[in-house]
Amino acid sequence: MKVIVITGSTRGIGYGMAEEFLKRDCAVIINGRSQQSVDNAVEKLSTSYSADCILGFACDVSNYEQLQAMWDAAIERFSKVDYWINNAGIDLDNDIFPDLSVEDYTRCVNINLLGMMHGSHIAVNGMIKQGHGQLFNMEGFGSGGRQRNGFTPYGSTKYALRYFTQSLQKEVADKPVLVCTLSPGMVVTEMLMGGYKTDEEIQRAQKIFNILADKVETVTPYLVDKMLANTKDGAAIAWLTTPKIIWRFMTASFNKRNLFED
């Protein structure tokens, strides 16, 4: 039985991956910032999957000691961690950088970048000690260098995440740990639509998302299957590849999709 830690897994892609791992007879550590959100996710998952395979742990990923405690709890319960997925992340409300508060962009950096570094440090050291393991860091808008107004702090953290992950992979290439990335593409979650304010902005965004985006239940089985099958250090598991983007635009006129129907 594989044991998986997923930060930020009480909702969205993280929750979707947790459910897919449970479907494949894995054990999963569910993580979120609040105890209530963790308890709700664990309760919901436990209605369909064995509670013996689910451990909930609430913590702030920007707090190293709390993250270390989650690793320790996973080891105490399951004796190992096979996969650690740094998925926790937040975006802001599409405001340009000068209009953001110091508290907002600091929080974004602390969770998306510092939290990912903390998780990577804990996981890599723990996996070296146990003799095996895979670390996956979740990419997002900005990882490839794309820029857009309103995404400066978020995109900066994801651009740095790719550099960090590639550099870390080289540093520990001789260790028994695989360091990799996940790229889910555009997935319909609260985060995807959270920054659009006016009806015009929402309609314009939905038009593009109906071409390029997918629902959580479409993307997460692919990501999970690829992770479980992975044996390559430095693997970059991506759902929305360039050929898929081209095909989506080429077929958009006759392949109508509405991902936002109730």
Q: So which residues are the catalytic ones?
A: 154
Please name the residues in contact with 260: beta carbons below 8 A apart, sequence gap of 6 or more. Answer: 188, 206, 209, 210
Instruction: Read off the amino acid at residue 23.
Output: K
Of residues 1, 16, 31, 9, the one with CA closest to residue 223: 16
Spatial distance between the Cα atoms of 43 and 54, rounded to a whole number of angstroms: 10
Q: Is the dihedral of CA 240, 137, 235, 17 positive or negative?
A: negative
Give how far Cα 252 sits from Cα of 100, 186, 255, 260, Å: 36, 16, 5, 16
Spatial distance between the Cα atoms of 78 and 9, rounded to a whole number of angstroms: 18
**How many whole angstroms from its chain centre is CA 246?**
24
Spatial distance between the Cα atoms of 94 and 151, rounded to a whole number of angstroms: 6
